[in-house]
């Protein structure tokens, strides 16, 4: 297939950027780190921005994939919430998440190559999580705000974990949140 090599190349670039970020990496540095030439990056992606656009799309897709099987088994709410955190706090994901937050920061300044990211970073998650709360018995706006708060708290905890590495306190904090957010069942236990 044609775009096969391109995809493999993108893979290697994304993996590279997960290690050290992209903001101060030149096209040539990215290329050499990914085992190719800056000429090839331009051939496949048109420009540095074109490459970053694809990188962002990829990270966004990984995000979606991570969400997909998260609510697979819908047992009790606290357990779902715990799974949520346990999954994200996995050290193996740290590089990907650092890259995620770096893109997030650039998106705050409306960089045009972050368009797809901005569109999905909240929306793609808020919907499903809201449905989850609905499923567990919270109605309409109450489910919405609970979903939004869950998303925010989780990301905040993750950001803290990534920068301090204080896993114990943050695991405890995440556990507390799981209990708090699901605590008073709306219709009664």
Which positions from 49 through 88 interact with DNA, judged by CB under 7 A? Answer: 49
Number of residues that bind DNA (CB under 7 A): 18
Mapping DSSP to helix (H, G, I), strand (E, B) and coil, where does residue 133 land?
helix
Q: What is the per-residue binding string for its own copies in 156-185, x denoting contact by CB under 8 A? A: xx-xx-xxx-x--xx-xxx-xx--xx-x--
Question: Rounded CA gap, 99 and 114, in Å?
Answer: 13
Contact call for residues 27 and 42 (beta carbons, < 8 A): yes
Q: Is 155 in the site for its own copies (CB under 8 A)?
A: yes
Binding pattern for the stretch 36-65 against its own copies, x by CB under 8 A and - elsewhere: ------------------------------
Query: Buried b vs exposed e over 111-125: b needs ≥16 C-beta within 10 Å?
Result: bebbebbbebbeeeb
Query: Which of 12, 15, 21, 29 is in the footprint of DNA by CB under 7 A?
Result: 29
Assess contact for 57 and 153: CB atoms under 8 A: no
Q: Which does 154 bind (CB under 5 to 8 A by kind): its own copies, DNA, none?
A: its own copies
**In this structure, are residues 82 and 175 in contact, taking their beta carbons and an 8 Å threshold?**
yes
- 94: how many CB neighbours lie within 10 A of its CB? 16
Given the rule CB under 8 A, which residues bind its own copies? 20-21, 23-24, 98, 101-102, 104-109, 118, 121-122, 141, 144-146, 148-149, 151-157, 159-160, 162-164, 166, 169-170, 172-174, 176-177, 180-181, 183
């Amino acid at each position: 297939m044609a775009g096969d090599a391109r995809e493999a190349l993108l893979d290697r670039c994304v993996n590279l950027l997960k290690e050290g970020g992209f903001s101060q990496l030149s096209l040539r540095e990215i290329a050499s780190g990914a085992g190719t030439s800056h000429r090839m990056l331009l051939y496949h992606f048109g420009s540095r921005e074109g490459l970053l656009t694809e990188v962002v799309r990829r990270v966004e897709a990984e995000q979606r994939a991570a969400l997909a099987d998260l609510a697979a088994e819908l047992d009790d709410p606290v357990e779902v919430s715990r799974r949520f955190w346990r999954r994200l706090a996995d050290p193996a994901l740290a590089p990907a998440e650092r890259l995620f937050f770096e893109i997030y920061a650039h998106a705050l300044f409306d960089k045009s190559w972050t368009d797809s990211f901005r569109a999905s970073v909240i929306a793609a998650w808020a919907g499903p999580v809201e449905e989850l709360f609905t499923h567990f018995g919270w109605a309409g706006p109450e489910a919405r705000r609970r979903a939004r708060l869950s998303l925010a708290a989780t990301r905040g905890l993750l950001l803290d974990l990534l920068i301090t590495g204080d896993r114990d306190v943050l695991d405890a904090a995440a556990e507390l949140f799981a209990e708090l957010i699901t605590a008073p069942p709306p219709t009664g236990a």
